[in-house]
Amino acid sequence: MICLALTGKTIDENIEIISKYKKYIDLVELRADFLHPEEREKVSLLPGMIDKPAILTYRLPKDGGFFTEDESLRLELLSQGLEGGFEYVDLEEDLEAPELELQATEKGTTIIRSFHDFDKVPEDLIQRIQSMPRSDKEIPKAAVMPTSSADFHTLLTIFKALKGTKKILLGMGAYGFPTRILSNPLGSYLTYCSPENASAAPGHVDPVTLNELYRFKNITKGTAIYGIIGNPVMHTKSPVIHNKGFAGINLDAVYLPFQVDSIEDFMKSAEILNIQGLSVTIPHKVDIIPLLEKPLDKGVEAIGSCNTLIKSASSWKGVNTDAPGFMWPLYKTFSPEQLGSKKAAVIGAGGAARAIIFALQEAGMEVLVLNRTASKAKELAEYFNCAWAGLDDDGIAKLSDYNDIIVQTTSVGMHPMEDKNPIAGYEFTGSEIAYDIIYVPEETVFLKKAKEAGCPIFGGKVMLLAQGWDQFRLFTGKAHPQEGVV
Ligand code: ATR
Which residue has its alpha carbon closest to ligand 1 atom 2? 351
How high is the pLDDT of residue 439? 92
Alpha helices by DSSP H, listed for 183-248, are 183-186, 207-208, 238-248
Res 431 pLDDT > 90: yes
**DSSP 3-state percent helix, strand, coil across the chain (nearest 5):** 40, 20, 40
φ/ψ (deg, to 5) at 329: -65, -30
* Gap between the Cα atoms of 87 and 24, Å rounded: 19
Average of per-residue pLDDT across 69-74: 98
249-270 confidence digits (pLDDT tens): 999 999 999 999 999 999 999 9
Nearest-atom number in ligand 1 for the CA of 377 is: 18
- Taking the C-alpha atoms of residue 259 and residue 246, their distance in angstroms, rounded to an integer, is 22
Rounded Cα distance between 200 and 194, Å, is: 6
Instruction: Quote the DSSP letter at residue 111.
Output: E
Please list the residues that pair with 253 across neighbouring strands: 224
Mean model confidence pLDDT for the chain? 97
Q: Which residues contact 102 (CB under 8 A, 6 or more apart)?
A: none
Cβ contacts of 2 within 8 Å, gap of 6 or more: 24, 25, 26, 27, 190, 191, 193, 207, 210, 211, 216, 217
HSE-CB for 13 with a 13 A CA cutoff: 15
- Is residue 319 very low, low, confident or very high in pLDDT (cuts 50, 70, 90)? very high
Name the residue with higher pLDDT: 351 or 373. 373
145 confidence band (pLDDT: 50, 70, 90): very high
> Residue 24 carries which DSSP code?
G
Residue 357: enclosing H or E segment and its boundaries?
A: helix 351-362
Residue 348's pLDDT is 97
Strand, coil or helix: what is 371? Answer: strand
pLDDT tier at 199 (50, 70, 90 boundaries)? confident
- Span 310-316, average pLDDT: 94
Task: Spot the catalytic one: 141, 167, 285, 342.
Answer: 285
pTM exceeding 0.85: yes
The span from the CA of 93 to the CA of 133, in Å, is 8
> Ligand 1 pocket test: which of 303, 358, 372 has the largest number of ligand atoms within 8 Å of its C-beta?
372
Residue 197: pLDDT above 90?
A: no
pLDDT in tens, 273-310: 999 999 999 899 999 999 999 999 999 999 999 999 99
Question: Is 451 a catalytic site residue?
Answer: no
Please report the pLDDT score of residue 201 as a whole number.
Answer: 87
Query: Is 375 a pocket residue for ligand 1 (Cβ < 6 Å)?
Result: no
* pLDDT per position as a tens digit, 354-379: 999 999 999 999 999 999 999 999 99
> Quick one: pLDDT band at residue 202, thresholds 50, 70, 90?
confident
Nearest-CA neighbor of 408 among 321, 476, 345, 314?
345
Best mutation site among 305, 411, 426, 438 for ligand 1 pocket (most ligand atoms within 8 Å of CB) = 411
In the chain, the largest separation of any two C-alpha atoms, in whole Å, equals 85
